[in-house]
Chain A
Amino acid sequence: EIVLTQSPVTLSLSPGERATLSCRASQSVYRYLAWYQQKPGQAPRLIISGASNRATGIPARFSGSGSGTDFTLTISSLEPEDFAVYYCQQRGNWPHTFGQGTKLEIK
């Protein structure tokens, strides 16, 4: 199965700063990668699909890039509501595995 490794495990930033989250796959997943945001006590929410397509209702400050094995989620200017855990998921091969998550916390 494809292993996704997210880095960093924890990212400490302040509102207004730029966040860059990484997801690396153990083999190519082409552009079949999604990103999710999860806040405590809530179900995950789809942020990005197809590596770079924002989901419905997701603000433009969220962007995704990458292909093959290396992917990035960028939040251009952090808002207070963006502090959460972010997961990547590959959808190129069964099983559709998740990364272990990056916790974005307020500095």
Chain B
Amino acid sequence: DTGVSQNPRHKITKRGQNVTFRCDPISEHNRLYWYRQTLGQGPEFLTYFQNEAQLEKSRLLSDRFSAERPKGSFSTLEIQRTEQGDSAMYLCASAGPGTGELFFGEGSRLTVL
């Protein structure tokens, strides 16, 4: 069990560029979550998948954000036309069947200049 893996750990980009983050969940986990966290705040729900199906996406999430989980394994989160307000830690978590207990990766920190 290698835990939840996220890449890259840090990304610095210029405003207007696109960025993509990858998350590899714990192998037997069927659910995968994306959260965004800024300093002093709790994780903000973005979206979650059960296997390859995206079951819910936050209403607060603009159309610039998209997530995929092809074949129900790893997931990618893409942010298009980044803005300075997108600077945050992007956390991925996975959970096993029938449980809501989340296991988090170490996060991908995005800085938009």
Mutual binders A and B: no
Question: Which chain A residues have a beta carbon within 8 Å of chain B's beta carbons?
Answer: none
Question: Which chain B residues have a beta carbon within 8 Å of chain A's beta carbons?
Answer: none
